[in-house]
Structure 1
Amino acid sequence: MRRITMAFMATVAVVVLLFSYRTSTAGPPRGGGTVIATGAAPEGVVDSGEPSPQPTRKSTTARSVTVNGPAVQTRWGPVQVQVKIKSGKITDVVVLQQPAGNPRDAEINRYALPILHDKVIEAQSADVDTVSGATVTSEGYLRSLQAALDKANFRS
């Protein structure tokens, strides 16, 4: 009887340990919120062109500005973008950091990031739909982009 009790207790302990082990796909870190990744490009205005009022979509000046968004930590890795605005229009969005933990990340990013780029240029806003199959990366991309647009005082 004692052996059965010991075997049962050992089995329970092993099962508890297995269920408490957190894998890398278990979700975002506890506490939530935006986490700034280490090694990220500095956030804020990188190149402001000529000194003049902050750009807006309705601006008629030929002023250009380049702004880095924050590195947004997602459960798959950091996402950081840089936005280029000229004459009050978003002319380009460059990805500075993207999840790169495994080959699947690279495959998803090759597919999703160009789609996000084109959607943002067309909409002239960070208010676009996420890419199906790359929701987490899309959300990080759009959060970094919106923060960069806010720093540039860009209004769509």
Structure 2
Amino acid sequence: MRARIVIGGVLVSIGILSVGVESAVVHRDAVSAAGGTGTSDAGGTAGGTESGTGSGTGTGTGTGTGTGSSSTSGALKDGTYTGTAAATQFGNVQVQVTVAGGKITDVTPLQLTDRDGRSVQISAQAAPVLRQEALSAQSAEIDTVSGATYTSEGYLQSLQSALDQAR
């Protein structure tokens, strides 16, 4: 009987934690969409191989209109662009971007983290997710993949470098 109570308490705690995290993400996204000020932290661990935090801030006017420059402004020139190799503690990450009709049509990883077998595995799982997010967002302004923080940050850095060339 006592074991059921403890397990029930743990499950309730997990449910509350899940709702709290989801609320924080929704709040952050709502604040960013409204042009307000917000910060976000993204990080995670995967078998102890990759962990870390990333943060970003956005500012806006009181009317909800954002101010400042955005990496999505300006049309992209058609072509294939290779981003700079981003050095991470688990190896370099470099991507190539193809633009057609002013839109990102493909993102190909040229280098992914490869310090050890676990880094290779994490990169192999994260790369398709990052590619799809970049294609959907049509920019480098996408979230990192949980558990693949270093790979994600290197990918986004190289992606932004390639997109800067396409402007």
TM-score between the two structures when normalised by the length of structure 1: 0.58
Q: Deviations over 1:31-63 (max 9, x none)?
A: xxxxxxxxxxxxxxxxxxxxxxxx815xxxxx7
CA contact (8 A) 2:78 2:166 kept: no
Counterpart CA distance in 1 for 2:123 and 2:90 is 11
The equivalent of 1:100 in structure 2 is 114
Counterpart CA distance in 1 for 2:109 and 2:125 is 13
Counterpart CA distance in 1 for 2:124 and 2:165 is 28
**Counterpart residue identity of residue 134, structure 1:** A
**Counterpart residue identity of residue 95, structure 1:** P
The equivalent of 1:142 in structure 2 is 156
> Equivalent of 1:56, from 52, 69, 75?
75
TM-score between the two structures when normalised by the length of structure 2: 0.54
Counterpart CA distance in 2 for 1:106 and 1:77 is 10
The equivalent of 2:13 in structure 1 is none
Query: Secondary structure of the residue that 1:110 maps to in structure 2?
Result: helix
CA contact (8 A) 2:144 2:152 kept: yes
**Counterpart residue identity of residue 113, structure 1:** A
Query: Secondary structure of the residue that 1:78 maps to in structure 2?
Result: strand
> Equivalent of 2:144, from 115, 123, 130?
130
Amino-acid identity (%) = 50
Number of residue pairs aligned between Structure 1 and Structure 2: 96
The equivalent of 2:86 in structure 1 is 72
Q: CA deviation at 1:64?
A: 2.8
